[in-house]
Amino acid sequence: MADPFIRVRGLEQKFGTQHVLRGVDLDIIRGETLVILGGSGGGKSVLLKHLPGLLRPWRGTVEIEGDDISGLDERQLAPYRRKVGIMFQGGALFDSMSVGENVAFPLLEAGERKGVRERVAEALEIVRLPGQEKKMPSELSGGMRKRVALARAVVDRPACVLYDEPHAGLDPVTADSIDHLIKNLQTGHGMTNVVVTHEMRSVFHIADRVVFLQEGRIHWIGGPDELRATQDPLLRNFIDGNSGEPWPGSTLRA
């Protein structure tokens, strides 16, 4: 098996009585783009948050490059978090800060003082927003906000980037441009990508492997071609966007 950058074993998460993750085993291979699919509320975002230690496992372990991070405190987690950038759901920019200040934020948090301006400029180049440092988030379109969020996720040159629904709220063309950026980070910059999305078009464009999470467990894992051909009823309905409910008048047509 190829070299895993992140290894998840027996991961379980409970919130009160709600058992959200019920034993997830997953290897995230260095340099791949892994897409996580699944129904709403199935635990995709919770799984994503475990990867850089933003949540502590109820049971099980998460390893980054062979080191078990599941028992570490915030200070001990800091070097691992620098290896794993996150583009949060909705972009989550600080509205009172300029684009440049937003992108610089993780570097300043990590105590970096030298070369910050250059690295911010480089990150904005990568997301194809060069020279936009002075703009305020309120002046940006939804797609541009996502790009700024992506620049912030990669400014510290992480080995791996996590994306929580990067296409949410975008038109198909803008969503496609985000896919190009994601793929370019993998092929041009050697990054490992883990993407939670509902966009099937994007899955077939960017994924090397796909994981389908169902009720807190991995129901299916495979490549995009296997996904296209699958006869698994759960996956078929998901791919075809079929809830199984009848349409009004459908009996008349039958």
Ligand X SMILES: Nc1ncnc2c1ncn2[C@@H]1O[C@H](COP(=O)(O)OP(=O)(O)OP(=O)(O)O)[C@@H](O)[C@H]1O
Residues that bind ligand X (CB under 6 A): 15, 20, 38, 40-46
CB of 91 to ligand X, least distance (A): 15
Tokens of 84: 């794993």
121/168 with CB nearer ligand X: 168
Q: Which residue has the tokens 């803008």?
A: 174
Q: How far is the CB of 47 from ligand X (least distance, A)?
A: 7
Q: How many CB atoms lie within 10 A of CB 250?
A: 9
Which is closer to ligand X, CB of 54 or CB of 136?
54
Alpha helices in the chain (DSSP H): 44-50, 74-81, 99-109, 116-126, 142-154, 172-189, 200-206, 224-229, 233-240, 250-253
Q: Find where tokens 């937003």 sit.
A: 102
Closer CB to ligand X, 111 or 241, in the complex: 241
Nearest to 149 by CA among 104, 93, 85: 93
3-class DSSP state for residue 9? strand
Q: Kindly state the smallest distance separating residue 139's Cβ from ligand X, in Å.
A: 28
CB of 11 to ligand X, least distance (A): 12
CB nearer ligand X, residue 38 or residue 106:
38
